[in-house]
Homo-oligomer: A and B are copies of this chain.
Amino acid sequence: MNAISRPPPQRWNQLAEDRAERLARAAHLACGKQVAAGQLVALLEALLRPGDRVCIEGNNQKHADFLSAGLARVDPARVHGLHIVQSNIALASHLDIFDSGIATKLDFCYSGEQGVRMGRLIKQGRIQVGAIHTYLELYSRYFVDLTPRVAFVAAQSADRAGNLYTGPNTEDTPAVVEATAFKSGIVIAQVNELVDRVPRVDVPADWVSFVLEAPSPHHIEPIFTRDPAQIGEVQILMAMMVIKGLYAPYQVRRLNHGIGFDTAAIELILPTYADSLGLKGRICEYMSVNPCPTLIPAIEAGFIKSIHCAGSEPGMERYIEQRSDIFFTGPDGSMRSNRVFCQLAGHYADLFIGSTLQIDLEGNSSTATLDRITGFGGAPNFGSQARGRRHASPAWLKAGAESADGQSRMPRGRKLVVQLVQSFREKMQPTFVERLDAWRLQQDFDLALPPVMVYGDDLTHIVTEEGIAHLHRCATPAEREQAIRGVAGYTPVGLARDRRVVENLRGRGIVQRPEDLGIDARLATRDLLAARSIKDLVRCSGGLYDPPKRFRHW
């Protein structure tokens, strides 16, 4: 063997030794793996060391809120400078720890309502942001350079041995626990109840270090519920265009819907409008989404064959249990969600359709607004070309053939990525802009790149109340800009269109108005909605859907 410069004899199991040491320090607080809720702060102070990388499970919906609140109460003199890795920053406690110096560094995906406060903390230098990620890339880094030393997760119940039952809200738990437990890390689970026997094992006890019964059930946010009562005729018209102008000609069978009233409108006219076009069994058969209540009528009408979910939705539990042919459920009857697989399934699907706040002249879109760090979540993953995909489908081949730019002789498939937006959003803010706020945000927060949600070159279509722009069929960037202007309505961007070019694009079917699609806009009324209220959804579910209180208006 060659003489290589070898370092002095090394210890190769330091992480495992360190874990054993920490567990020994905390042993007096636990009975087996169980720790009393009142001992949480003591447990964390015994286990954590300054600078530790800590993952706090914060999903779209489920939050390890008890553990997070406990972390905010540790003594900053003992525990400080933590590096937090966490998908969603959603609760006040998630940021309190930065205020007090318990944590200083953050790698994350998404921050909804906490975005403004987070922006302030960044500017104050209290949060040093590593990067803003999409879900899958953050989970990936848990197995690369952001492996947690300690992870906080939430589950429905645990047995004495520490087996966890996450029930319908499995979400990120398996990814977080696997990365931590198998790199000699420490996994702490808060559970709603300790039981003799869990209904099923979602996470094996081997992978869990400590279990605490929280004083109240973990936080669950019903973010996928949309009340059909709030869906207007413009949204219904847009939904008709999506179905007749995109889903039908592209034969879109496998897809992901973003959250919102716009996509809810599509779901609610499947059993009426799409059915009247003879599309049942030909579109929207396989979905990767959360169990949105507005899917109920389409499921009941036999439109949808299978749905895999990233997480659950409060009130949908009994319905899911009684529709096990559609959803992925366990032997206990409740759903098994998994965000990793759902994100993957959506990425490799034929179409993603979602909304955004701003679109520029290249089709780049962003949900970033000034003074607020919102992050990405899953949209950039769903809304990007799956260049690692190799299997064909009619939608993928058609979009690929239409995208051929003449530069490459090699044919390739293409994913349909659709932005579904009204030209103006609330408070008459134009959706279409010359320059995204993302550019100012980049400067403000010293980001490496402007925070773009979906890049223009990944986008194939924009649908507004004015029509559909088939961007992928444009021959030049200039033509593409006019196609965008051509559906931008009365926004300054829309008004500055070159009418001649837009009419030319219309002649070539690259811009399509409702009438070009044979859609009578007068038929776009709420009569088309298969359910016009939450109560309708309940009725349609045969009483199985049990909406959260705030959605009950009767």
Contact = CB atoms under 8 A, between A and B. Distances in A.
B390 A387 contact: no
A309 to B, nearest CB: 10
Nearest to A332: B206
A131 B1 contact: no
A201 to B, nearest CB: 4
Nearest to A183: B328
A249 to B, nearest CB: 18
Contacts of A386: 137
Given A136-B344, A206-B200, A449 B182 contact: no
A134 interface: yes
A530 B305 CA distance: 56
A131 B449 contact: no
Given A324-B13, A532-B1, A449 B412 contact: yes
Nearest to A2: B530
Interface stretch (A73-81, A453-461, A512-520): A453-461
Contacts of A141: 345, 348, 391
Contacts of A205: 201
Given A13-B322, A324-B13, A381-B388, A347 B412 contact: no
Interface stretch (A403-411, A420-428, A466-474, A545-553): A403-411
Nearest to A349: B144
Contacts of A163: 204
A193 interface: no
A254 interface: yes
B408 A457 contact: yes
Interface residues of A, number: 121
A540 B6 CA distance: 11
Interface string A357-395: 000101010000000000010001111111111111000
Nearest to A438: B410
Given A206-B201, A302-B7, A413-B449, A325 B15 contact: yes
B530 A4 contact: yes
A2 B528 contact: yes
Interface stretch (A94-102, A150-158, A333-341): A333-341
A275 to B, nearest CB: 6
A4 B390 contact: no
A147 interface: yes
Chain B CB within 10 A, most for which of A134, A181, A389, A529 = A389
B448 A392 contact: yes
Contacts of A530: 1-2, 4
- Main secondary structure on A side of the interface with B: loop
A184 interface: yes
A38 interface: no
A132 interface: yes
B2 A143 contact: no
Nearest to A397: B448
A131 B410 contact: no
A288 interface: yes
Contact of A529 (B2, B6, B452): B2
Contact of A2 (B181, B272, B397): B272
Contacts of A348: 136-137, 140-141, 144
Interface in A2-23: 2, 4-7, 10-16
A253 interface: yes
Contacts of A360: 410
Contact of A410 (B300, B389, B456, B529): B456
A232 B549 CA distance: 71
Contact of A458 (B131, B387, B452, B456): B387
A486 interface: no
A347 to B, nearest CB: 7
Given A322-B13, A330-B206, A341-B140, A145 B253 contact: yes
Contacts of A503: none
A27 to B, nearest CB: 16
A455 B412 contact: yes
A495 to B, nearest CB: 22
A315 interface: no
A175 B341 contact: yes
Chain B CB within 10 A, most for which of A130, A137, A300, A540 = A137
6 contacts: A11-B325, A137-B388, A137-B391, A178-B336, A411-B450, A412-B449
Given A140-B348, A141-B345, 8 more contacts: A1-B531, A4-B297, A10-B302, A144-B288, A145-B306, A384-B387, A387-B387, A413-B449
**9 tightest Cβ-Cβ pairs between the two chains A and B:** A131-B391, A201-B204, A392-B448, A384-B387, A381-B388, A182-B328, A182-B336, A143-B308, A4-B271
